Amino acid sequence: MLKKLKILIAGCATIFLLTSCTGGDSVSMDNNINSLQSFKEYQWESLAQRKIYFGHQSVGFNIMEGLNDLMRENKSIKLNIIETSDRRSMQTGAFAHSRVGNNEDPHSKTVAFEKLLDDGLGDACDTAFFKFCYVDINSETDIQDVFSSYKNTMKRLKEEYPHIRFIHTTVPLGASRSNWKVTIKKILGKEIWAYEQNIARNRYNDLLREEYAGKEPIFDLAQVESTYPDGTRSTFEKDDKVYFSMVPDYTYDHGHLNEKGRRMVAQELLNVLISLE
C-alpha cells in the first residue's frame, strides 16, 4: 500500500506540474466578453441620476473598487458612489452602498436589508439589492431555508415598495484548488472541502436562477466569476456532475476579487443596471 501511494503521489505531482504549466497565461483581458463601449452618453447620464442602494460585505467592497477602476478609465461613467445607508443621501442621484448583516450568517443579511428599507431607505431609492458572501454558504448550510427566507422577504418588499427595481444576486464562488493533494483525494474518494463549499453555492444559485431568470433582474456574480475572458467556464466534477468555481486569475486568496476580477464583475453590474432603463 505504501509503495502504491508513493507511485500515486509521484504521478500526481507530475500531472500537477504539467497542468499548472499549460494554459496558465491563456487568459487575456483583451478578450473581455463584456463591453461597455456600446452604451450611449444618455444612458450613462440616466444611470447617474438613479438612486441605487447595494448592501454587502467584503467582496462588495471589491466590486465597488472595480466600479471606481472603470470610472477612471471611462469619463462617461459619472456615478456618485458613497458609502452610506442614510436615506438623506438619496436626495439626488447616488450609488449608495454599505455593510449589511454579519458574515457566515446569511439570515442576518436578509433581515438587515429588509430593516434598512423599512426604516426609510425604501422610500428614497429606486433600485436596491444585496448579496451574500461566499463564506455565508457552506456544506452545512440549509440551502432551502436560506433561499426560502430570501424569497419571502423579497416578495414582501416588492409589494411594499413597487417603485423599486430589485436585483437578485447569485452567491460568489471560491476558486477550487488544483494540486497533487486534491488529485489524491479524488482518487481515494475523500471529501474535498473546497469542492463541497462550492457545490453548496452552486445549489443556492440554481434555486435563485430557477426562481427569477427571465422574470426579474439577476446580477449573476457567480457566472462572471466562473467565466474566463474567452467565454469558457471554470469547473470541477463530483459524482459525474459539473459545478462552477471561480477563475483562479480573478482572486488573490481563493475568494476575494483581485484587480482583474473586480473589473470583470463591476462591468457586468453596470450592464445589469443599464439594462433596467
Pairing of β 168-169 and β 218-219: parallel
Cell matching residue 109: 443579511
pLDDT value of residue 30 = 41
Q: Is the pTM of this model over 0.75?
A: yes
Distance separating the N- and C-terminal Cα atoms of the chain = 64
Ordered per-residue pLDDT tens for the chain, 277 residues? 444 444 344 444 333 333 333 333 333 334 344 478 899 999 999 999 999 999 999 999 999 999 999 999 999 999 999 999 999 999 899 999 999 999 999 999 999 999 999 999 999 999 999 999 999 999 999 999 999 999 999 999 999 999 999 999 999 999 976 543 444 444 444 444 469 999 999 999 999 999 999 999 999 999 999 999 999 999 998 989 999 999 999 999 999 999 999 999 999 999 999 999 7
pLDDT value of residue 176 = 74
E strand map for 73-204: 81-83, 94-99, 127-130, 165-166, 168-169
pLDDT value of residue 178 = 56
Q: What is the CA radius of gyration of the chain?
A: 20
pLDDT value of residue 277 = 75
Domains and CATH numbers, the chain: 39-275 (3.40.50.1110)
The answer to whether the beta carbons of residues 175 and 247 sit under 8 Å apart is yes
Provide CB contacts within 8 A for 196, sequence distance 6+.
138, 139
What single-letter DSSP state applies at residue 30?
G
Q: How far apart are CA 146 and CA 1, in angstroms?
A: 44
Q: How far apart are CA 141 and CA 133, in angstroms?
A: 13
pLDDT value of residue 37 = 86
pLDDT value of residue 177 = 61
